[in-house]
Amino acid sequence: MKKLFCPVVLLPGFLAFAQQQKDTVAHSKIIDEVIVSGIRKYAEKKSDYVARMPLKNLENPQVYTVLPRELMQQQVATDLQSSLNLLPGVNNVSVNVGSGGIGLGLTMRGFSSNASAGALRNGMATNFVSLSDPVNLEAIEVIKGPSGTLFGSALLVGYGGFVNRVTKKPFNHFKGEIGYIAGSWSSNRVTVDINTPLNAGKTFLARLNAA
Q: Phi-psi region for residue 185, left (φ > 0), alpha (ψ -120 to 50) or beta?
A: left
Between the ranges 16-20, 82-86, 106-110, 202-206, where is the mean pLDDT highest?
A: 202-206
Q: SS3 for the chain, per residue?
A: CCCCCCHHHHHHHHHHHHHHHHHHHHHCCCCCCCCCCCCCCCCCCEECCCCCCCEEHHHCCCEEEEEEHHHHHHCCCCCHHHHHCCCCCEEEEEEEEECCEEEEEEEECCEEECCEHHHEECCEECCCCCCCCHHHEEEEEEEECHHHHHHCCCCCCECCEEEEEEECCCCCCCEEEEEEEEECCCEEEEEEEEEEECCCCCCCEEEEEEC
141 and 192 housed in the same domain = no
182 within some domain: yes
35 has pLDDT over 80: yes
77 and 114 housed in the same domain = yes
At 197, phi and psi to the nearest 5? -75, 145
Number of structural domains found in the chain: 2
Residue 160: which domain range? 48-167
112 within some domain: yes
91 and 179 housed in the same domain = no
pLDDT class of 66 with cuts at 50, 70, 90: confident
95 and 117 housed in the same domain = yes
159 and 186 housed in the same domain = no
Looking at 167, 183, 201, the residue that finishes a domain is 167
Q: Lowest-pLDDT range, 24-28, 69-73, 75-79?
A: 24-28
pTM: 0.67
Can you name the residues that pair with 65 across neighbouring β-strands? Answer: 142
102 has pLDDT over 70: no
95 and 79 housed in the same domain = yes
8 within some domain: no
